[in-house]
Structure 1
């Protein structure tokens, strides 16, 4: 994009590239596009034709009694051939309104592009540039308005009292400024001389300074007067400033602020050309203001990615260390990398110095520095000019780069350029090297580009082609995953929205990639920027690894946005069906072991001392010293501990706490739900998935279990510390290989529940959820015989307590009219559905808005789709087993008790 020479000296003059000059509001002596603007000789004829066509309507407006007499007099004089600049402006604005025949607010205050520019050129053709400039200096003082008495359009002369300056800030003003910027000396001097007589108001003085910013004494006067911020007048002043001294004066008055309306490329470029590098901190502040991602609107209504790109682009032109540092600090914003790349090319020696300083703490800076040195080998001659720290940083960057693999080691699939080239937003030089297996050589950049092109064809539903799969297998997996995640983050930071950004993770990702995608989805808080987390779920499902499936499960359980929860649940169902499992069976198999060493937990070696990690009833890690005494926490490594073992053990414990926290609550909740729903496991699955699992076993030992043989004979038992089995008398028990195992509900234990409670109390065993001390309830004979229960009807409860039933397996009914949900359902193990109606119900999108709810009927149906009242259900509450009936009654009793508390 840039047209700068490939010089090695540090350029200290702002040069606007040719490609950007069309965006610049020209000033005398500044950058000029090629070819320069010239007056259009045909404009006068076009304007005359329009005047003749609309003359009658123009004169009717001018003769209206509501029009301003002075403005009308000037307009009539111009129509009669007198070269009056104010009259020319008046006629132009009236003609614009008449010829457009459009809404007043749209056309007479903004001036149609073709009308405005044609009038400027017509004035210059007929009367010269000086006259045109004076007419333009009068234009924004005039306006066509609706007369309050007659309702007709009239010409007024109160435009200077309004905030908008549509002529000066629109196409006409920019055209007039450009023509004056390239006018010959005599025309320009005459324009300046005559404009001196058109500076009557503060607004008009700003317009004149905008037209001839070379008259800096006039600009100084405007600086002293300071227009209000966030108006058209402030835009004009930004484009008129010519020194950092003026900017400092405005800053001291708390004026120099690039607000919403100023963040446009033409204003930023123009201000940079006039002020120079001193503009950098104000552009930096504007970048911070544009950091509100949820305000991605168009110019004038808020900030968006385009505004950030414009700011970064202008910063990249400023020849200063400060500007370079600002751009480098915002490399992860849209447009940041492109701007920094331009800056590196534009200021190569400055880039060498500053990238070297940043490379020690920034991987992107180190990669940019490495690419810079490879692209410009002549810069090595300048290394001696760097300080010792910078030279050491350069040496470290070059030493860290792994030699590229010889051609014989490069997989064939990466040697031939793909039909579709690598994406331009992801140059290989700016991404981490991909190492070959063995980690002695790196994939060459050309081969990496071919890989990037192939990754563009990635799909979660399609495995790589055979040759490409073989080629990927030749790469170091950890290195490939690091490359893939860097590509993902880079694509997000530059605002790239192509599928390549996320689908490539299906081929490059490892287990850590899947954990990161899961964490990203769980961290999402709303609908803003939810697209990438949704795409990440596709990657998790495509991976199908145990870690990826666990992440899907956690998202389905913990994510806040409904779209994420629902999509994760749908993908989990697909994974489970593909494996021939239910969702619960799949969840049982997805609990990680976190590197624990059997039932004893984890041993932490500090060298001269060691600690053992166990787990409490909520699976929170707890620490015992080498004498078996429980400690409040794991101590930090001390001076007498091994300097390598102790810190590593301390980090391992911190990581374990963080990892287990993510699955513990879910596991406890699933086990309680399994007890309520009387879910059964084969004896083999119970041993393998629960007793022998190094994490789950810590919960298993805190519960009473039942073994069923042929669905009839039952034996209650617990799992001891050594993973053996014992009965209520604490006698050893042999568990048969056949039969099924389930968590014992207290109703299933009968009279032995008291003995089990006493045994657990003797061993000081705390339970993860209420089991032995769980309250129970039962249906009355009348309730069991019918299909409705009225004991809770009419009770007012809070919607929060009502919706907490979802944690116990209840689910909301479909939304009805107006998006209101009026019932909540529970599915019994034998296929019956219990429905609780509430009034008035709650909005599906914001339940908390309708806090007070009245419980209505609790009824039962023989299938989920049954709608009470449409047909007679054959189901009665007698169809429920004792455990399900008790749990339903106790759940609703808790909701009622919560309301009374």
Structure 2
């Protein structure tokens, strides 16, 4: 953070140096009164066409007619008796509509003409549509009446209606109702220039409200509106042309006017470190800082202020980035101090927009804790913030939550967020994860020089990613010395801080990447030769992990020698030309002992069990019936069952009494399912300390009472490596 942000004596910026929306925000401006349009032209006596038309889209009438009517079925002898219930209103209202859509026309049509149902605020469009399809304009009045009572839920029935009353209604909704925007815009798009004659009399009339609405609607219609208005004569056409040219100066529609946002009571913007202008180094005045928070809040509220996001971005471009980061973090801390209250949806997005890597380091532990504090939604918003920050470190931490999050719901949300990021970049999940591993500024040899001024130190890492420091005298240290009196007072503290952050970040990277590569081995993930070279061999950190593993390409196993070149089990050079994967012991076959001996000779410590990993296969004939009988009947501690979730198993949903009755793991296109007795009580896992593996079977998907129908020979379709891991998990339960 720059010193200017911390220094309360820094002068405030003059108002003319700030964006207009911070100095004179739109939500505080009084809207301009509508002025006379069209040069004040009013043409009295114009009357809209008096016709009413139902304009059906292709197939629309048939679709509406096919909607199943509510109520009934009524027998042939019931019509007259039921009609009386419609007349006196004793029949349930949706059933009345169903009766009118179904009854013989000689009974239903007179009823419809006299039908005056009460105005209801619930959605009534599905009840009216079959009536409109059957009787068309005979259902006009009741449809308009019901639509007025609920524009959003019932109003869609008016889409095919073309008449003066509906045109005026749609123009009013377009100007006034936020909830009816989609409908009214769809209506004008559908009828286009045919709607113009119904609007012109209001547009050139004296009444301010209808005139304003009609002008706004005419501006929306595509095509030659002036020519369509010529049905009222040349004078009217000229007046409409002048009116449209003058219309942009009118007050904006009511639904588009920004509404003053209510900021929470806990927020005192004057207590926050105010943003600083990038070039002038001057602080925002207090009101401007508060208006900036208003902009952030309104940018997240659809329709509150359409220009809020653009105004916020314009402001950000003028500010010192570090000062915005400090402002956003202080806002976040104030929110936390207030107990993270709701209705503060702008706080975490502000961190996402202006946060940096230090924000990531401080925010990620909180995200991981929040679900356990009844804060799942808050944690999901935190994931959005990490994705919005978008740096390599931010996405790396997001990937870490997706792979090893404590709370499965949050873990799934993180996985979904990563899939969104990967899709935007056109990558698979694994390819994205490769690109997320940061280099932390290390050079090609995996080292970094830190400058104390009069002395310099080189930081490197051993094969287990533990840092080591070498001074200019060649002396190797375990850590970087603290800055001394003779060191540069600016360079040395910054270098020491970078080293502290580097150790912390690399430690986090190492655990995440080791887990990721072990999962890749089990899943059979492959890399192209180019990807392998770029993201594993030449990466300053990943190669330390990669060189401690055995890989395969084109049927040949190899390792990475100390000079990063591939070598086979005889230490002969090997050219990687085919896709690469991490070798599971099952893939090494008879060569496994030779590889184990080679790694022992070189004293290579593997990052996770690979060469010493037990390999399992099915016995002859085992599993043909789709079940694994050798595991059935085992009694195991519930804690061991829960431990399976670390290797990809998922607990079933909570059924009656909140009991989870199975645990399953995806196996290719199928699932291996273990039925548990008595089951795990969600939220109270210690209630049943032991579980019996009642059934172990393979199925298309886990479900209750499905173990009687396993997939015969289903295990033969499972990848042998994955099947070995599943068998290992089940074996380790005993």
Q: Normalised by the size of structure 1, how large is the TM-score?
A: 0.50
In structure 1, which of residues 432, 440, 454 is the aligned counterpart of residue 295 of structure 2?
Answer: 454
Aligned partners of 1:654, 1:584: CA distance in 2, in Å?
Answer: 29
Q: Tell me the equivalent position of 2:560.
A: 719
Query: Residues 621 and 802 of structure 1: is their aligned pair in 2 closer, same or farther, counting only changes over 3 Å?
Result: farther
Q: Tell me the equivalent position of 1:576.
A: 422
Query: Residues 463 and 544 of structure 1: is their aligned pair in 2 closer, same or farther, counting only changes over 3 Å?
Result: farther
Q: Is the 8 A contact 2:12 2:282 kept in 1?
A: yes
Aligned partners of 2:694, 2:276: CA distance in 1, in Å?
Answer: 66
Q: Which piece of structure 1 moves more, 859-868 or 403-412?
A: 859-868
Shift of 1:454: 1.1
What's the secondary structure of 1:548's corresponding residue? Answer: helix
Q: Tell me the equivalent position of 2:74.
A: none
What's the secondary structure of 2:636's corresponding residue? Answer: strand
Shift of 1:769: 0.7
Cα deviation, 1:567-591, whole Å, max 9, x if unaligned, reads 3344334333444444443333322
Q: Is the 8 A contact 1:615 1:621 kept in 2?
A: yes
Q: Tell me the equivalent position of 1:196.
A: none
What's the secondary structure of 2:630's corresponding residue? Answer: coil
Q: How does 1:349-428 map to 2 (within 5 A)?
A: 400-419=8-27, 420=260, 423=263, 425=265, 426-428=267-269
In structure 1, which of residues 486, 493, 504 is the aligned counterpart of residue 337 of structure 2?
Answer: 493
In structure 1, which of residues 601, 605, 614 is the aligned counterpart of residue 461 of structure 2?
Answer: 614
Q: How does 1:807-818 map to 2 (within 5 A)?
A: 807-818=646-657
Shift of 1:887: 1.9
Aligned partners of 2:624, 2:342: CA distance in 1, in Å?
Answer: 60
Aligned partners of 1:472, 1:636: CA distance in 2, in Å?
Answer: 38
Q: Which piece of structure 1 moves more, 887-896 or 442-451?
A: 442-451
Structure 1: stretches of 5+ with no match in the other structure = 1-362, 368-396, 709-713, 897-901
Q: Tell me the equivalent position of 1:790.
A: 629
In structure 2, which of residues 723, 726, 730 is the aligned counterpart of residue 885 of structure 1?
Answer: 723
Aligned partners of 1:887, 1:449: CA distance in 2, in Å?
Answer: 57
Q: Is the 8 A contact 1:527 1:561 kept in 2?
A: no
Cα deviation, 1:308-334, whole Å, max 9, x if unaligned, reads xxxxxxxxxxxxxxxxxxxxxxxxxxx
Cα deviation, 1:738-776, whole Å, max 9, x if unaligned, reads x31110111111222222222222222110011112121
Q: How does 1:142-291 map to 2 (within 5 A)?
A: none
Q: Is the 8 A contact 1:492 1:501 kept in 2?
A: no
Q: Tell me the equivalent position of 1:826.
A: 665
Query: Residues 717 and 603 of structure 1: is their aligned pair in 2 closer, same or farther, counting only changes over 3 Å?
Result: farther
Q: Which piece of structure 1 moves more, 716-725 or 573-582?
A: 573-582
What's the secondary structure of 1:842's corresponding residue? Answer: strand
| 1:441 correspondence with 2:282 | yes
Aligned partners of 2:307, 2:666: CA distance in 1, in Å?
Answer: 39
Q: How does 1:670-689 map to 2 (within 5 A)?
A: 670-689=516-535
| 1:593 correspondence with 2:433 | no
Shift of 1:842: 1.1
Q: Tell me the equivalent position of 1:473.
A: 317
In structure 1, which of residues 670, 689, 699 is the aligned counterpart of residue 545 of structure 2?
Answer: 699
Shift of 1:671: 0.9
Q: Is the 8 A contact 1:506 1:542 kept in 2?
A: yes
Shift of 1:885: 2.7
In structure 2, which of residues 638, 644, 647 is the aligned counterpart of residue 805 of structure 1?
Answer: 644
What's the secondary structure of 1:433's corresponding residue? Answer: coil
Shift of 1:630: 7.3
Aligned partners of 1:582, 1:611: CA distance in 2, in Å?
Answer: 36
Shift of 1:870: 5.7
What's the secondary structure of 2:298's corresponding residue? Answer: coil
Aligned partners of 1:893, 1:871: CA distance in 2, in Å?
Answer: 24
Q: Tell me the equivalent position of 1:634.
A: 479
Cα deviation, 1:670-706, whole Å, max 9, x if unaligned, reads 2111111211122222222222222222111111111
Q: Is the 8 A contact 2:625 2:712 kept in 1?
A: no
| 1:758 correspondence with 2:613 | no
What's the secondary structure of 2:514's corresponding residue? Answer: helix
| 1:769 correspondence with 2:611 | no
What's the secondary structure of 1:785's corresponding residue? Answer: coil
Shift of 1:608: 5.5
Q: Tell me the equivalent position of 2:130.
A: none
What's the secondary structure of 2:621's corresponding residue? Answer: helix
Cα deviation, 1:461-494, whole Å, max 9, x if unaligned, reads 9996434422321111111111111122223334
Query: Residues 555 and 884 of structure 1: is their aligned pair in 2 closer, same or farther, counting only changes over 3 Å?
Result: closer
Q: Tell me the equivalent position of 2:579.
A: 740
Aligned partners of 1:453, 1:627: CA distance in 2, in Å?
Answer: 56
Query: Residues 790 and 610 of structure 1: is their aligned pair in 2 closer, same or farther, counting only changes over 3 Å?
Result: same
Query: Residues 775 and 564 of structure 1: is their aligned pair in 2 closer, same or farther, counting only changes over 3 Å?
Result: closer
Q: Tell me the equivalent position of 1:842.
A: 680
Q: Is the 8 A contact 1:477 1:510 kept in 2?
A: no
In structure 1, which of residues 491, 508, 513 is the aligned counterpart of residue 354 of structure 2?
Answer: 508
Aligned partners of 1:769, 1:629: CA distance in 2, in Å?
Answer: 32
What's the secondary structure of 1:834's corresponding residue? Answer: strand
Query: Residues 494 and 651 of structure 1: is their aligned pair in 2 closer, same or farther, counting only changes over 3 Å?
Result: closer
Shift of 1:794: 2.2
Q: Is the 8 A contact 2:469 2:480 kept in 1?
A: no
Aligned partners of 1:460, 1:719: CA distance in 2, in Å?
Answer: 54
Cα deviation, 1:146-177, whole Å, max 9, x if unaligned, reads xxxxxxxxxxxxxxxxxxxxxxxxxxxxxxxx
In structure 2, which of residues 706, 714, 730 is the aligned counterpart of residue 876 of structure 1?
Answer: 714
Q: How does 1:61-140 map to 2 (within 5 A)?
A: none
Query: Residues 474 and 749 of structure 1: is their aligned pair in 2 closer, same or farther, counting only changes over 3 Å?
Result: same
Count of residue pairs the alignment pairs up: 492
Aligned partners of 1:844, 1:787: CA distance in 2, in Å?
Answer: 28
> Could you say what the CA RMSD is over the residues aligned between the two structures, in angstroms?
3.4
What's the secondary structure of 2:363's corresponding residue? Answer: helix
Query: Residues 790 and 628 of structure 1: is their aligned pair in 2 closer, same or farther, counting only changes over 3 Å?
Result: farther
Shift of 1:626: 7.4
Larger Rg: 1 or 2?
A: 1
Aligned partners of 1:884, 1:531: CA distance in 2, in Å?
Answer: 34
What's the secondary structure of 1:857's corresponding residue? Answer: strand
Aligned partners of 2:526, 2:443: CA distance in 1, in Å?
Answer: 27
Query: Residues 652 and 793 of structure 1: is their aligned pair in 2 closer, same or farther, counting only changes over 3 Å?
Result: same
Shift of 1:729: 1.7
Q: Is the 8 A contact 2:699 2:710 kept in 1?
A: no
Q: Which piece of structure 1 moves more, 811-820 or 664-673?
A: 811-820
Aligned partners of 1:682, 1:463: CA distance in 2, in Å?
Answer: 46
Shift of 1:599: 3.7
| 1:521 correspondence with 2:521 | no
| 1:860 correspondence with 2:677 | no
Which structure exhibits the higher relative contact order, with contacts defined as CA atoms closer than 8 Å and separated by 6 or more residues? 2
Aligned partners of 2:585, 2:310: CA distance in 1, in Å?
Answer: 57
Aligned partners of 1:820, 1:703: CA distance in 2, in Å?
Answer: 42
Q: Is the 8 A contact 1:842 1:850 kept in 2?
A: yes
Aligned partners of 1:583, 1:403: CA distance in 2, in Å?
Answer: 49
